[in-house]
């Protein structure tokens, strides 16, 4: 068995470990090891992206969802959730104001709301692309058919975020109701890739029943799938879900994993997520220092921000988009990085 130092060396020079080696590296978490991984990850990221941080304007289009993911605050069984849906006009207005603030990527994210048919999404995507041809449109609208993904791509969508949630079928079954399946999640990711989207996967750190074995499978999956983007953030319980009393995931371990993922695939686009900023007041700064190079400020109207509550105490629900951007610019500058006005595509060799 390799010593931890040797594992870190192997990961940094080859971008690959065996599954049991990933598990060992996670088990061997210590501040000193986190520091070593962070230094290596930072150097790799700087070789490709310098000190530039990409921003994505997040538009939370609806909290209406046909799914019942056990961890999620907007699951259909949550009767206390105050439901809303933005109109296409409101979504376009968010994109317009985001453009003025320097955003060149818009992310439409929401529950699996039947209102957002292919026709509705196609017309919104086409309108955003015609008003802002220099921008990328990212969708994060959950599981859909291959045909639907194709239509949305043809309408102009560039990227799709669909976290795999866990690369263990058994673990997937513990986080989701029976009618959802690991196979379908993976079918969606393969389909998105085949169609030509830039694809993002990802998982929650510290979700219920997750051990280093499951996280090692996630890392191996990322190594093999080589997503263009990967969203990871700590699991945070929501008071109106069956996981209300579960422990939250840790910001430290999330940062440790961000460094590992940067070393697995140095070009990857890696956000320092809102959940990381919620788990730790300095989480987003720590995430960037650990190897992340993307942040996703909220462009949703302030009136709906609190309603898109996936977990308790979500940050940035009271600020207007412009205030969020200014706050983040300050935070990022103070740690020696800079936010750029750029589509922020993955830089391929």
Q: Which residues make up the interface to ligand FES (CB under 6 A)?
A: 65, 67, 69, 72, 74-75, 111-112
Cβ proximity to ligand FES, 113 vs 285, nearer residue:
113
109 binds, among ligand SAM, ligand FES, none (CB under 5 to 8 A by kind): ligand SAM
Closest to ligand FES by CB, 76 vs 329, is 76
Q: Which residue has the tokens 């639907």?
A: 148
Instruction: Centre a 10 Å sphere on the Cβ of residue 40 and count the other Cβ atoms it contains.
Output: 21
Distance CA 160, CA 165 (A): 15
Indicate whether 251 belongs to the interface with ligand SAM (CB under 6 A). no
Phi, psi at 159, each rounded to 5°: -135, 160
Helices (H) and strands (E) in the chain, counts: 14, 9
Distance in Å, CB of 274 to ligand FES, minimum: 15
User: Angle, nearest 10°, between helix axes 88-100 and 321-334?
Assistant: 40
Instruction: State yes or no: residue 233 binds ligand SAM (CB under 6 A).
Output: yes
Q: Binding partner of residue 135 among ligand SAM, ligand FES, none, CB under 5 to 8 Å per kind?
A: none
Closer residue to ligand SAM, CB minimum distance, 249 or 266 = 249
Near ligand SAM by CB under 6 A: residue from 19, 28, 90, 112: 112
CA-CA distance, 188 to 241, in Å (whole number)? 26
Q: Which of the listed partners (ligand SAM, ligand FES, none) does 37 bind, with a CB threshold of 5 to 8 Å by partner kind?
A: none
311 touching ligand SAM, by CB under 6 A:
yes
18 CB contacts (<8 Å, ≥6 apart)?
none
**Nearer to ligand FES (CB atom), residue 62 or residue 254:** 62
Residue 275: φ, ψ to 5°: -65, -35
Q: Which of 129, 151, 163, 314 binds ligand SAM (CB under 6 A)?
A: 163
Instruction: Specify the residue, 49 or 182, whose C-beta has the smaller distance to ligand FES.
Output: 182
Out of ligand FES, ligand SAM, none, which partner does residue 75 contact, by CB within 5 to 8 A per kind? ligand FES
CA separation (Å) from 90 to 17, 115, 128, 296?
A: 46, 15, 12, 19
Choose the contact partner of 236 out of ligand FES, ligand SAM, none; CB within 5 to 8 A by kind: ligand SAM
Residue 162 vs 328, nearer CB to ligand SAM: 162
* b/e code 229-238 from CB counts within 10 Å (16+ = b): bbbbbbbbbb
Closest to 200 in 3D by CA, of 252, 251, 136, 250:
136
DSSP code, position 250: P
261, two tokens: 């993922």
Q: Which residues in this chain contact ligand SAM in the complex, by CB under 6 A?
A: 71-72, 109, 111-112, 140, 142, 162-163, 165, 204, 233, 235-236, 238, 275, 310-311
């Amino acid at each position: 068995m390799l010593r931890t130092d040797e594992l870190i060396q192997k990961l940094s020079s080859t971008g690959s470990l065996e599954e049991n080696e990933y598990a060992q590296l996670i088990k061997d978490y210590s501040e000193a090891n986190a520091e070593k991984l962070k230094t290596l990850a930072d150097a790799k990221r700087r070789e490709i992206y310098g000190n530039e941080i990409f921003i994505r304007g997040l538009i939370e289009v609806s909290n209406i969802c046909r799914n019942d993911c056990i961890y999620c605050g907007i699951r259909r069984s949550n009767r206390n959730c105050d439901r809303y849906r933005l109109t296409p006009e409101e979504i376009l207005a968010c994109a317009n104001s985001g453009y003025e603030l320097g955003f060149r990527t818009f992310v439409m994210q929401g529950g699996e709301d039947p209102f957002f048919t292919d026709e509705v999404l196609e017309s919104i995507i086409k309108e955003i692309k015609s008003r802002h041809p220099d921008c990328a449109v990212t969708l994060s609208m959950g599981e859909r058919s291959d045909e639907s993904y194709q239509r949305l791509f043809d309408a102009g969508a560039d990227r799709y975020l669909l976290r795999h949630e866990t690369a263990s079928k058994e673990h997937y079954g513990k986080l989701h109701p029976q009618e959802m399946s690991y196979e379908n999640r993976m079918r969606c990711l393969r389909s998105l890739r085949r169609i030509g989207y830039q694809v993002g996967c990802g998982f929650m750190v510290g979700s219920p029943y997750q051990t280093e074995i499951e996280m090692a499978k996630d890392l191996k999956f990322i190594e093999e799938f080589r997503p263009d983007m990967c969203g990871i953030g700590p699991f945070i319980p929501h008071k109106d879900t069956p996981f209300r009393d579960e422990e939250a995931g840790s910001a430290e371990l999330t940062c440790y994993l961000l460094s590992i993922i940067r070393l697995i695939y140095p070009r990857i686009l890696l956000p320092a997520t809102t959940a990381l900023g919620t788990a730790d007041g300095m989480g987003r700064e720590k995430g960037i220092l650990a190897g992340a190079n993307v942040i996703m400020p909220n462009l949703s109207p302030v009136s709906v921000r609190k309603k898109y509550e996936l977990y308790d105490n979500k940050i940035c629900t009271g600020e207007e988009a412009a205030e969020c951007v200014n706050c983040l610019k300050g935070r990022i500058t103070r740690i020696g990085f800079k936010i750029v006005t750029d589509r922020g595509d993955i830089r391929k060799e």
